[in-house]
Chains A and B, each alone.
Chain A
């Protein structure tokens, strides 16, 4: 088993391949790195030389998208509809009016409701004009793929392996997927969030499929003695206060697991929601003092 890591998408990216041959490992590893850097470059909101910048600075003009970005818009639109608007890639502008720090001492007052109302006018997939491959946003609107690009990257890298390839595990900052079971039988994955919460089941054994986690144990907003996650509801403009810190979901692909985790996080009862979806999940709460 050979393991190597690299930094990408503001995360520690880890690749494990069930082989002893460094040449074989290296050939897959460099393809994975290339693909991860490609997607980071293409969909980062911090760059000024990619399609995301073009879209977000189009001032209400239409932008022609490439095939891959068109597919992501199609996909995001479907998720928006299926989640009744809870998954919304135009909700990124809300982060400008909220700030979430690591410790509660640094938290400030929430933004006033007028500010939120103004901002919400620039949020909503129903406001975009999309006729593939042309996308038109209202001025002031922004697209942010940050909610799915990591999971999508994991799935694209998994696709680099074929049936005959050695077994592999790709983990981009906690969003991970495996190609098949390794020679030892299964992959033993430690869920850090569960570990931190003291849960005895800190390890899970997976043979195939993917895991994605939504939420953050350490980043939250405290107001009126209530803790709010940093995940914002695109319809209310407010973070959820269901007391859930992190949700880890297992599904066939990382993208699917990620969408389910995000959507469930915004539910009043995430556990019940995921049970209805028949998705394997693990939840940690803010109840315990950190």
Chain B
């Protein structure tokens, strides 16, 4: 047994030093041991992604199922590689552009090999619509020096009658202590269109032996994006974007046409004559879009998101989109997010509900409901559950979409006045998303 020393040694500072070695020495040398998933050793790659499935169903029209897989890798030095695979299967019927009638109407299917008849009072839908699309996209981003970041990416998609390849690149700059971000992006897309039965000559009349331009058409799209993201305060972030797009080439929809109707004055004025003209649009389109987005964090009360988009192009189409969403955490793991969107569009200059028999054909003409005067609303509810605190979560989203236009425009006359010239479209959307 040792004798206890008479004087009390001052041991606190050497003990303090020993504890410092214990606490810092271990945590540096042993990141593997601590199993705290989001503090990996610097050289490890962080994988994240998502698997989702979307179900889209228009009442009596198109149904689509779309599984999506996202896989992203984040390497050291903030370099990211993102990938996405989308498979779209669409079935059902799509509006072909013809007006509804009190009499049955017969249309030739796009392949020219069959006909289909629409009974009176039914919306003129082409029931031969069925397609599967696969799309793959990949992009790489990394910092460039201290304040810049650049990215490059490519997309490819393929469906029965359409193949698309595109490349994109962007550069962004961080300013004001990363509170401001300016970005510039460009992209180029090349599409190859192989319509079933060949691309019909625009404004030609429908027949099994329709004159075609050829079997393969092409289209090019170029886009420029300017973006500004600004952190306004600790709770508020705003984003402003301007997008300029230019497409040229084959712009028509090969499966849509305009009905010729009997001229006013006749006994059956307004009835379809049985002649239909194929869709003909200008061979280029320049689009502009201005977009502003705001996200406001209400602390424990959630996040309010609002956005507005103004669009106009050289086809005469203008539109406004207003969106609001409210992300509310309802417990430490669950959240709910209701949302509402309102859309209003003014028709393209060459949009026609019908063509009057005897009148000269315009240079361009389309009855594609997507280019018409319309308003649409989407009401949605999403709820999700965080599975851990590192980003793993599962969420469910349901949306109801309604779109309507002018069922009785001023141009209508004769029997046209008793038909719905812009049938309402309703769709339900359901989505399950798993993020990891």
A residues whose Cβ falls under 8 Å from a Cβ of B: 20-23, 25-27, 30-31, 34-35, 38, 66-68, 71-72, 74-75, 78-79, 82-85, 152, 155-156, 159-160, 235, 251-253, 255-256, 259-260, 263, 267, 272-273, 276-279
Contacts and interface: CB of A to CB of B under 8 A. Distances in A.
Contact of A31 (B1, B11, B19, B389): B389
B22 A22 contact: no
A52 B299 CA distance: 45
Interface in B6-48: 8-12, 14-16, 18-23, 25-27, 29-30, 33-36
Given A30-B388, A85-B2, A79 B27 contact: no
Interface string B294-331: 00000110000000000000000000000000000101
Nearest to A75: B22
Given A22-B300, A25-B332, A34-B36, A277 B12 contact: yes
Contact of A278 (B12, B18, B300): B12
A272 B8 contact: yes
Contacts of B4: 84
A252 B16 contact: yes
B299 A20 contact: yes
B26 A67 contact: yes
Contacts of B386: 23, 26
A66 B300 CA distance: 42
A177 B22 CA distance: 16
B5 interface: yes
Nearest to A235: B1
Given A21-B299, A31-B36, A82 B11 contact: yes
Nearest to B388: A30
Given A34-B36, A38-B34, A235-B1, A82 B26 contact: no
Contacts of B1: 235
- Is chain A's interface secondary structure helix, strand, loop, or mixed overall? helix
A57 to B, nearest CB: 22
Given A22-B329, A26-B332, A82-B14, A253 B23 contact: yes
Contacts of A253: 16, 19-20, 23
A84 B2 contact: yes
Contacts of B332: 22-23, 25-26
Given A30-B389, A31-B389, A277 B22 contact: no
Contact of A155 (B23, B329, B333): B23
A74 B25 CA distance: 11
Nearest to B297: A21
B15 A259 contact: yes
B12 A71 contact: no
Contact of A273 (B8, B14, B29): B8
Contacts of B21: 71, 74-75
Contacts of A152: 22-23
Contacts of B390: 27
A279 B15 CA distance: 12
Given A82-B9, A159-B23, A253-B16, 11 more contacts: A30-B388, A75-B18, A75-B22, A78-B18, A82-B18, A84-B4, A253-B23, A255-B23, A259-B15, A272-B8, A277-B10
Nearest to B38: A31
Contact of B12 (A66, A72, A84, A279): A279
